[in-house]
Structure 1
Amino acid sequence: MSHWRQSNVDEMLLEDFVAKGLLPPNEVAGWRALLPEHEEPHLESHEVVSFLAFHERGLGYPAHWFLRGLLHEWGLELQHLNPNGVLHIAGFVTLCEAFLGIEPHVGLFRAFFYGKTSPAKGETSSAAPVGGFGLQRRPRHDDVYPEYTPAESNKGWHGDWFYLRNPPEAPFPEFHGERPVRDLSWTWGTPTSEMFVAREIKKVIQKRVVEAGLNGATLFFTMRERRVMPLAIWRMPLWLYSGPSDPDRAFTEELPEDDVYS
C-alpha cells in the first residue's frame, strides 16, 4: 500500500480499456486522465479517483449497490480499497447472484471477510492513503467458500489512477483524500438476527457449490467469460443472464479461453 504517486494513465490507455469492455465510454462515465504536472489528485467536485486494476477485477459503472453500501458503512472512499479487496467483493457478488440466485447478503459477507488497516511502506501504524483498507478472508471457512489465492503483490497498481465522474444517481462516497480510519464495523461478524439465514446459505454453498467442484478459478472464469462486470448496476440480476445477447454484457464479442484465464 502506498502514498500517492504520479499516474501512468493517459487517455489512450483509458480508450483501450473502453475497447476491451472494462470501462464505459467517456460520455457515460466522464473519465479523464490527470494533467502531467500533477503528482496528486486535483479533482472536480463531481469526481472520484479510480484505478485500472479495479476495473480489471470487476468494478463497473455505475457501481453495484453492494459495493457502495460497504464503502459507506466502513467509512471508506474508493481509493482506500486495493485490487484484492475489489476481487473479493466481485467474487462474492458473482457467487450470490450467478450461483445461488440471491442478492448479495451482507450478514453472509461478514461471515467470510473482515477488514484491517494496511500501512504504507515504511510505516507501521496508520493506514496508507491509497489502498489503506485490507479486506481479508476469515480462515475458518476454507471448506465452505470457493478456494482461491489472490496475488500477494499487485506491484505498481497504485500508479494507474484516473478520474471518474461520481454518478449522482448511484454515488460513491465523496473524495476527501484522507487516510482511512479504522472502524469497529470492519471486523463485525454476522449479526445474531441473521445467523440462522447465513448458516443455511453456507450449507447450500458447501454442498451444492464447493463440493460440486466450484473453486475460485471457476468463479472468476464465469465472471470474465460472460463479459459481465459484477460490481455494476445491471438491468437484470445475474441469475437471469441470457447469453451473448444479454443487455448487461460489457462487450458482445466472445473472449478466447486463454484470454479469460490470463
Structure 2
Amino acid sequence: MEPAEISGWERSKISNQDLKTLKTLGLLKKEEALLFPGDESFPTPRIGYRVTFVDHLIRGLSTPIHEFLRGLLFVYGIQLHQLTPNSILHISIFITLCECFLGTHPHWGLWKRIFYLRRNSSRSVAYNVGGIVICVRPEVDYFDVKFPDSVQGWRRRWLYIQEEHVDSQEYNIAPFDGAAKILRRRSWDAEASEEKTATNALMKRICELQNTRGKELSGVQITAHFLRIRMQPLQARKNPLWMYVGEEDVDRVSKDLSVKDLEKLVRRFSSLSKKDKVPTSCRVEPYSSTNALPKNHQILSSLPPLPEGGEVDERIVVTDDSQAPSRPESEVAGSHKSAASSERSESEASESVRSPPSAVSPKNKRKRDEIEDSGTSKATEPAVEETTPEEEGAFNPYDDAGSVSSTDFFGSSSESLDRADKHAEDLAAKLERSEKARERAEREAATVEDLRQRLHKAEEALSDNVSQQIARENAIIARLETQNRWFVRKMGEDFTLHEAEEDRLLDTLSVLELHGDLARINISDARAAFTRLFPHFFPKQTQPQIFSELAKRFLPEEDLALAYREENLKVGVEGTIALVANSRQDVDWAKGGDHKGMNKEKWKTLVKAAKPHSKKILAFLGHKPSTSARTAKPEVK
C-alpha cells in the first residue's frame, strides 16, 4: 500500500511569543513586510506575497530572497513551504560557512558535493508541507549541526511574506501552489562532476576547520555567529559577510541580541541541552572588515542556474516518489488519519521521525537508506528501493541504456512502435533544449564572472574609502578635542552639552563652538576696554584697527600704568609750580625742590588748605570732576 499524501494545511496559530521573537530579531520593522492570516485554513496569499513559516524566518530567511536559495528552488523544482525548518537552517549555515570562513560566494559545485534531497514521509503519510529534506551525503565529512529530533508544531505557524526586488534584478520565486504534488527530480541527487577539481581546495579547508586541534569549528558555532552579527543569510544583501563592518553594517536587521535571547535561539535550533554551553564566539575568527581576506585570495562564484525573465522552465521528473512502504502495512498505525491528527501523532509533524523511502541516485544504482530529519541528516547503510508495477513499466529516458528491454518497451504491435517514436521525438526535443540552455548558461557564466570580478574590485575600493574616511574622521576629532583642552587650560571655563547628538564628531564640534562664542565675547569686551584706555596711554597716536595689534600695544616690556601715573604726577607738580608762579609770590624754588628739607606734615596741611580751591582751577582747565562717593572722599587725610 502506498503512503497517503496529505496537504498538512490548517488554520495558522501564531502565538504572542512568536510575534515577540520576530520583533526581537528585527523582522517586523518594515510595514506590510509580513502579513498574518485570518481565519483561512488554506493559504491564499495576495499578489506579491509568498507563504512561509515563523520557523523559516528565525532560521535566516528574509526577502529579497538570496539568489543561491532562489536557484536551489528552481533547480530542484520545489517551493519554500516544502522545505523543513532544519533544511532551511542547512542552507543558512552553508552560506555563512562560504562567506565567513571560506571567503567565497556560496558555491553550487560545493553544495552538490555535500548535500542531496529526499522525500519526508512515514510508512502511512507522505507530507506536502515540509515534504522535502536536505541531507548530508553519507560519505562526506561535514559539520555536526546537532539538529533537534523534531520541531514542534512548526506547520501551524504559517504567514505571508512580501517579495522584494534588488535594483533591476527580480528575485522572484515560483508562485505559491499549496496543493502541488511533490515529484522527485534527477537534480535531487545530482553530484558534482567538472566542479570537483575547482572545489577540492574548499573541501580540504572544510576538513581543516573541523579537525584543527584547539580550533575546531562546529555547525552550532556557525549558527550562533550569524545570529550574533544579526544577519539573515538567506536574504539578498548589499555586501557579502566577509565585508561585515560591525554594528553600523547596512545589512544588519536589528541591534545585538541579549545573551539570554541568543542562547534561547541556539538551543531552539539545535539539540543542545541546558547543561551544554552555547558558544559565545567561533574558535576560528571569521572573515570581516577587521579580518580581511588574504592577499591574492581567489573568490569563487558558482550559482545554481536561474530562469530567464522570471519564467520557470519545465523540469525533468524522474519519479513521483510513490514507493511502497519499507515495512509491512500492518506495522503502520493510523494510516487514514487527517492532516492535523497525523501531524500531532508524528511529534507535531517533525521532519518524519519514521524512516521515509530512500532517494534515487543519478544512475539509479546506489540506493540510500531511510533517513530521519535529525541533526546530521546522513545515511548509513544502503537499502533496496521497492517500485510499483506502474513504475517498472514506465519509460524513463534518464535510466541507463540497458535498464529497459526492447521487448518490454516496444512490444510487437504498431501501437508500441508509435509510442516509441513519440518518446524518441520528445527526448530529441528535450535534448535540443538542453543543449541550447547549456550554451546560454556558458555565455552567461562568463558575463557573470566578469561582473563578479568588477563588483569585487568595487567592493575593495569602497572598503578602502570607508577605512580612509574613518581614519580621517578620527584625526579631525582628535584635533577638535585638543583645541577644547587648550581652551579650558587657558580660559579656565568648560561646557557640558545639554542635548548631545551621541555622535563623537558632532558633540566635540558643538563644545568647540561654545568655546568660540565665549572667546568672541571676551575679545569684544577687551577691545572696548583697550579703546577707552588707548588715548590716555598713547596720546596723539592712531589707534590700530586690528585687535591683536591693539592688545600688543599694552604689552611692552615696561609698565605702561606706572609710566602713566608718573606722567600724571609730573603734570601735577608742574601745574602746582605754575599756579604759585601765577600768584606772584616769591618762592625759593631751589629750597622747595630740596625734599630733604621738606616737612611732610606741613605739606599735607598746605594741600588740604588748597583743596577747596581745586575745583575752580579744574573748571578753568575744562575738567568736570566726578561726584561719586569714591572721588568725593578726601585724598589727603
User: Within 1, Cα distance between the matches of 2:28 and 2:68?
Assistant: 20
- Asked if structure 2 preserves the Cα contact closer than 8 Å seen for 1:22 and 1:60, the reply is no
- State the TM-score, normalizing by the size of structure 1: 0.89
Do structure 1's residue 81 and structure 2's residue 80 form an aligned pair? no
**Counterpart in 2 of 1:195?**
196
Q: Cα distance 1:147–1:16, how it changes in 2: closer, same or farther (>3 A)?
A: same
* Alpha-carbon distance in structure 2 between the residues aligned to 1:137 and 1:261: 26
Q: What is the percentage of aligned positions where both structures have the same residue?
A: 31
Query: Structure 1 CA distance, aligned partners of 2:31 and 2:211?
Result: 41
Quote the residue 2:244 is aligned against: 241
1:22 CA drift (Å): 4.7
Rounded to whole Å, the distance in 1 between the matches of 2:84 and 2:10 is 15
Q: Name 1:61's counterpart in structure 2.
A: 63
Whether the aligned pair in 1 keeps the contact of 2:118 and 2:188 (CA below 8 Å) is yes
Larger radius of gyration: 2
In 2: Cα distance, 1:163 partner to 1:83 partner: 16
Q: 1:251 aligns with which of 247, 254, 257?
A: 254
**How far apart are the structure 1 equivalents of 2:32 and 2:43?**
21
Residues 149 and 24 of structure 1: CA distance in aligned 2, closer, same or farther (over 3 Å):
same
Offset of residue 5 of structure 1: 1.5
1:17-60 deviations in whole A, cap 9, x for unaligned?
Answer: 5521252534362x211122x11112223221010000111112
Change (3 A) 1:256 1:235: same
Kindly indicate whether the alpha-carbon contact (under 8 Å) linking 1:75 and 1:183 is maintained by their aligned counterparts in 2. Answer: yes
Are the structure 2 counterparts of residues 52 and 119 from structure 1 closer, same or farther at C-alpha, using a change threshold of 3 Å? Answer: same
Do the aligned partners of 2:25 and 2:58 also contact (CA within 8 Å) in 1? Answer: no
What stretches of structure 1 of length at least 5 have no aligned partner?
none
User: Match of 1:141, SS?
Assistant: coil
Q: Hey, which of these two has a bigger chunk of helix by percent?
A: 2
Q: Deviations over 1:154-210 (max 9, x none)?
A: 1200000011223352112211121321111011111x2111112221011212454
Bigger Cα displacement from structure 2, 161-170 vs 195-204 = 161-170
What's the counterpart of residue 95 of structure 2? Answer: 93
TM value normalised by structure 2 = 0.38
Q: Render the CA deviation track for 1:54-105: whole Å, top value 9, x for unaligned.
A: 0111112212111111001111111011100001000000000111110000
Q: Show structure 2 runs of 5+ residues with no match.
A: 1-5, 265-637
Shift of 1:255: 2.0
AA of the residue aligned to 1:230? P
Match of 2:29 among 25, 28, 51: 25
CA–CA distance in structure 1, aligned partners of residues 74 and 182 of structure 2:
12
Q: Letter of the aligned partner of 2:246 in structure 1?
A: G
Show the counterpart of 2:162.
165
What is the 5 A alignment of 1:64-143? 64-119=66-121, 122-123=124-125, 127-142=126-141
Structure 1 segments, 4+ long, off by >4 Å, are 12-15
CA change 1:23–1:137 in 2 (3 A) is same
Corresponding residue number in structure 1 for 2:20: 16
Distance 2:81 2:23 in 1: 24
Larger relative CO (CA 8 A, sep 6+): 1 or 2? 1
Question: Root-mean-square deviation (CA), in Å?
Answer: 2.1
Count of equivalent residues: 252
Other structure's SS at 2:231 match:
coil
1:221 aligns with 2:218: no
